[in-house]
Amino acid sequence: MQPGRLGWKKNGVCVLLAGILVLGAAGCGEKNGDETKITPSVQPEITEPAPQPTEPAEPTRAAAAEPTEPVKEVRTNFYVSTLDEEIPSLSEAWKDYFSVGIALTANDLRNELKEELILQQFNSMTCGNEMKADALLDRAKTLSEGTENCPVLSFKSCDGMLQFCMEHGIKMRGHTLVWHSQVPEWFFMEGYSNQKDAVFVSREVMLERMENYIRQVMEYVNTTYPGVVYAWDVVNEAIAPGDGDPDGMRVEDSLWYQVIGADFVDKAFEYARKYADPEQKLFYNDFNTYEPAKRLAIVKLANRIKEQGNIDGIGMQSHIGMSYPSLDDFETALCKFSETGLEVHITELDINLDSNTEEDLMKEGKRYKRLFFLLKNLMDNNKANVTNVTLWGLTDDGSWLNKDGKRYPLLFNQLLETKPAFWGALLDDGIPLY
Ligand code: XIL
């Protein structure tokens, strides 16, 4: 059965009298304690007082039989096996708002059942690790065939995922070009040395390495898989207020900052623009973007790069908890980022739930629903410009958070069943908002 836009009927639901769903028009800055205040946009109709009948009206049989409330089906079973039953598609449901993406590892695509579910649900993909510098930089080849200014890359890690996207018409977010993490230290050293006594190259050499790195990634991806990548996370996590930089830049653990200086971000975007296909969007991506100090620093950075003409969007990673951040803070950040005129992608959404009781899974479902509800309302009211929402993983057991095996952050469980979180992300009536 084809779902309508955010509305569908399913097997296994019970029939209830539905209340009127009052959709909210959330606006920036409307606060209600810890959580988002949702102001009704569909106000109850104010009706004129009924004209007084001149003669007492006789109640008629027809009038008495008229139904007063529409009958609607409300879902009660939230654990649907995606192997046995057809479920609504997230990307289809949200198609008038944003694309819906999934971060995968190459292993996910070796599983046919997962592959089928991915194709049914998502129209955007991100490589979880396969396109990061530590996956692409080939030290052996760099030493034998590279030059001091130009490393050699290998794309074996991400070829399969790019191929999959090309074959199935899925678009990819290129993740990520310049990041302080998952980049080998030898990349910053003279002679690409991995010895303890290695010394940093000069700023000039590092800038050339950076440009050559970005150029090679973009040239390879765009010529081998034309049209697949639609957005690049050019710089990831460069802001860490408190590290001592006046603009809130990450200093302590960023070799990019230490070797090049604070303008490595400007340079990365300059090179990315130079080699990107004209239709590809360039993003700055970060976590905890809703923290006020970080939010302010990101807006300042983004405005500066925007003036240089080299940025198109801000990525809010959105690895969130069950109660932190408040959706108020999330909303404020989303609105402030949108006010820059840039697009916003929710790039790495998950909710770090550490319990799988029915009660807690339902609470998680509500939080997902409230988040998607917020996105919808902000977009309906032109307060936010969200063009993609990406989940950071398909099933709970495969989540990067799941180091202790007790995390339940995503929309599907290990058995490839839907969770309340899935129905929440669809704004299903069976998941209460509060
Ligand atoms: C994570 C991956 O999911 C893990 O498998 C890996 O061990 C560490 O990185 N912010 C990002 C992502 O931008 O690239 C990170 O991905 C999660 C945090």
Are the C-beta atoms of 102 and 394 separated by less than 8 Å? yes
Reported as type and span, the H/E element at residue 380 is helix 358-380
Nearest residue (by CA) to ligand 1, atom 9, is 129
Are the C-beta atoms of 304 and 346 separated by less than 8 Å? no
Query: pTM value?
Result: 0.86
Question: Sign (positive/negative) of CA torsion 329, 332, 336, 341?
Answer: positive
Residue 160 burial (C-beta neighbours within 10 Å; 0-12, 13-18, 19+):
middle
Mean pLDDT confidence for 65-90: 86
User: Tens digit of pLDDT for each residue in 155-196?
Assistant: 999 999 999 999 999 999 999 999 999 999 999 999 999 999
Nearest residue (by CA) to ligand 1, atom 16, is 128
Nearest residue (by CA) to ligand 1, atom 12, is 128
**Residue among 369, 62, 348 nearest 233 (CA):** 348
Name the packing angle between helices 292-307 and 327-339 (round to 10°): 10
Residue 31 burial (C-beta neighbours within 10 Å; 0-12, 13-18, 19+):
middle
Q: Is the pLDDT of residue 41 over 90?
A: no
Q: Is 340 in the pocket of ligand 1 (CB under 6 A)?
A: no
Name the packing angle between helices 327-339 and 358-380 (round to 10°): 30
- Verify whether residue 348 is a known catalytic residue: yes
Instruction: Look at 60-74, 202-216, 305-319, 390-404 and tell me which has the smallest mean pLDDT.
Output: 60-74
Instruction: Look at 40-54, 179-193, 243-257 and tell me which has the smallest mean pLDDT.
Output: 40-54
**Residue among 315, 340, 318 nearest 330 (CA):** 318
Sorting pLDDT into bands at 50, 70 and 90, what band is 231? very high
Of 130, 270, 331, 348, which residue is the catalytic one?
Answer: 348
Q: Is the pLDDT of residue 88 over 50?
A: yes
Q: What are phi and psi of 308, to 5 degrees?
A: -80, -5
Q: Is 400 in the pocket of ligand 1 (CB under 6 A)?
A: yes
Q: Is the pLDDT of residue 121 over 70?
A: yes
Q: Report the distance separating Cα 114 and Cα 103, nearest Å.
A: 13
Q: Is 390 in the pocket of ligand 1 (CB under 6 A)?
A: no
User: Tens digit of pLDDT for each residue in 346-374?
Assistant: 999 999 999 999 999 999 999 999 999 99
Q: Is 120 in the pocket of ligand 1 (CB under 6 A)?
A: no
